[in-house]
C-alpha cells in the first residue's frame, strides 16, 4: 500500500486538471520514441517513425499516446489501489507485448518533462516530487505481474 499525503494528492490532481490528455499523451509517447529511439522496437507496425517530425505527426503515435495517458488517469482516480488497477495491463505488457519494465521508467520521466514544459513555473519542486513518486508507483504496478 502506497502512502499518499493529502498534499501529494492535491499536487497530482491540480496538475492533472490542467492537462490535455490527448495532447500530453501524444507528446510524451512521441518524445519517448525520439529521445530513446530503441523504444521504436515496440512500434514496428506504426508506420513512419523515420524522423522527429514524422513521429510527432504520426496519427498512430498520437492515438496510442492518448490511450496510454488515459490509463494514467485511471491510476490517478485509484491512487490507493494502483496495483490492482493495473494488474491486467501488467500481464498484457509481460505476456503479449514483451516490454522490458525499464521502459515504463523512461516514459514516466519523459511525461514529467512534458508536464514541466506545459506548466512552467507552476511545476514546482514539490509538484515534481509528487509526480516522480506517481510515475514510480505506476511503473512498479505495471511490472508487478511479470513472470
Rounded to a whole number of angstroms, the distance between the first and last alpha carbons of the chain is: 21
Sign of CA dihedral 16, 10, 132, 15: positive
- What is the smallest separation between the CB atom of 90 and other proteins, expressed in angstroms? 24
| Residue window 96-115: x/- pattern of binding to other proteins, with contact defined by CB under 8 A | -------------xx-xxx-
* Contact pick of 30, 61, 69, 139 for other proteins (by CB under 8 A): 30
Judged by CB under 8 A, does residue 76 bind other proteins? no
DSSP string, 61-127: HHHHHHHHHHHHHHHHHTGGGHHHHTHHHHHIIIIIS---THHHHHHHHHHHHHHHHHHGGGS-HHH
Residue 25: closest CA among 57, 72, 58: 72
Interacting stretch for other proteins, rule CB under 8 A, among 7-15, 64-72, 73-81, 122-130? 122-130
Q: Considering the complex, what minimum distance in angstroms separates the CB of residue 22 from other proteins?
A: 17
Positions that interact with other proteins (CB under 8 A): 27, 30-31, 34-35, 52, 55-56, 109-110, 112-114, 116-121, 123, 125-126, 128-129, 132-133
Amino acid at each position: 500500500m502506497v502512502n499518499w499525503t493529502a498534499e501529494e494528492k492535491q499536487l497530482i490532481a491540480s496538475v492533472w486538471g490542467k492537462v490535455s490528455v490527448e495532447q500530453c499523451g501524444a507528446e510524451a509517447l512521441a518524445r519517448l520514441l525520439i529521445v530513446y529511439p530503441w523504444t521504436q522496437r515496440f512500434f514496428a507496425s506504426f508506420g513512419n517513425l523515420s524522423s522527429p517530425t514524422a513521429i510527432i505527426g504520426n496519427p498512430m503515435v498520437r492515438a496510442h499516446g492518448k490511450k496510454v495517458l488515459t490509463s494514467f488517469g485511471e491510476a490517478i482516480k485509484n491512487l490507493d489501489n494502483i496495483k490492482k488497477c493495473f494488474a491486467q495491463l501488467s500481464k498484457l505488457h509481460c505476456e503479449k507485448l514483451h516490454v522490458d519494465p525499464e521502459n515504463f521508467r523512461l516514459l514516466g520521466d519523459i511525461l514529467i518533462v512534458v508536464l514541466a514544459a506545459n506548466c512552467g513555473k507552476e511545476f514546482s519542486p514539490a509538484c515534481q516530487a509528487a509526480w516522480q513518486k506517481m510515475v514510480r508507483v505506476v511503473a512498479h504496478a505495471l511490472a508487478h505481474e511479470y513472470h
